[in-house]
Chain A
């Protein structure tokens, strides 16, 4: 019995607070809140919310703002799990994204900029090519048996053995 007044006051405060800041035409609650079964405005802790503001479970929301679980969202802004998103901005898992900006795992991206595995898309970029051990190898171009030009740098990204044993 002693706690009932306090409980009523808390519910009343929540109701007044929500009513004073309501912006959602559907629920009458402040953005990010929804009506519970008792008709009170409570934080939308799970499931899609109506206004699309950040919610706790991260389920897809309408405006596409960042959500907690990182599932695909509509505007494609950075999300937590890094699954492919629509605008292609940097994401956490580094899978190929649309704009090709730097990503975490360093797999091929569209713009070819340096990514996290440290391999530049351009062989010997920032290094002086040479022919000594430890140097970045100088490029060369020769022709194969079909007459096609083949360069050393065509095999960039592979481990290469240059076998110069066919000379007489």
Chain B
């Protein structure tokens, strides 16, 4: 778990992330958007910022990907 920007930077380097990675160090956003107690969780927004998916089920990543592709 990252608790500083430096640790976040290392995490980005380790995984080669090319997308924005943000540090939710106090879990404020996780609590704001959480759909349940489980992780990972995914939230998908369309271009108008409408929430299409908010899911913490085992297939959440598949559901989120499909919703995002459909919204493109």
Beta-carbon contact of A124 and B49 below 8 Å:
yes
For the residues of B in contact with A, the DSSP-based class is mixed
- Please give, as numbers and ranges, the residues of chain A lying within 8 Å of B22 by CB-CB distance: 142-144, 150
Task: Write the nearest CB–CB distance from A153 to chain B, whole angstroms.
Answer: 7
Beta-carbon contact of B47 and A159 below 8 Å:
yes
Beta-carbon contact of A140 and B29 below 8 Å:
yes
Please, how many angstroms separate the alpha-carbon atoms of A54 and B45 in the complex?
50
Task: Write the nearest CB–CB distance from A120 to chain B, whole angstroms.
Answer: 8
Task: Write the nearest CB–CB distance from A124 to chain B, whole angstroms.
Answer: 6
The contact of B20 among A118, A130, A147, A150, by CB within 8 Å, is A150
Beta-carbon contact of A164 and B41 below 8 Å:
yes
| Known contacts A144-B8, A150-B20, A167-B27: A133-B53 contact under CB 8 Å | yes
Beta-carbon contact of A160 and B1 below 8 Å:
no
| Known contacts A143-B23, A144-B20: A159-B30 contact under CB 8 Å | no
Please, how many angstroms separate the alpha-carbon atoms of A119 and B22 in the complex?
26
| Known contacts A135-B50, A167-B39: A145-B12 contact under CB 8 Å | yes
- Please give, as numbers and ranges, the residues of chain A lying within 8 Å of B6 by CB-CB distance: 145
Task: Write the nearest CB–CB distance from B2 to chain A, whole angstroms.
Answer: 7
A100: CB under 8 A from chain B? no
Taking beta carbons and an 8 Å cutoff, which residues of B are in contact with A?
Answer: 1-2, 5-6, 8-9, 11-12, 20-24, 27-30, 32-34, 39-54, 61, 64-65, 68, 71-72
Beyond A162-B44, A164-B43, A167-B39, 12 additional pairs, beta carbon < 8 A? A119-B48, A132-B51, A136-B50, A136-B51, A140-B29, A145-B11, A146-B9, A157-B47, A161-B44, A164-B34, A165-B41, A165-B42
29 A-B residue pairs with CB within 8 Å: A118-B48, A130-B51, A131-B51, A133-B53, A136-B48, A136-B49, A137-B49, A137-B50, A137-B51, A140-B32, A143-B23, A144-B20, A144-B21, A145-B5, A145-B8, A145-B12, A146-B5, A159-B45, A159-B46, A159-B47, A159-B72, A161-B42, A162-B42, A163-B42, A164-B33, A164-B40, A165-B39, A166-B21, A167-B30
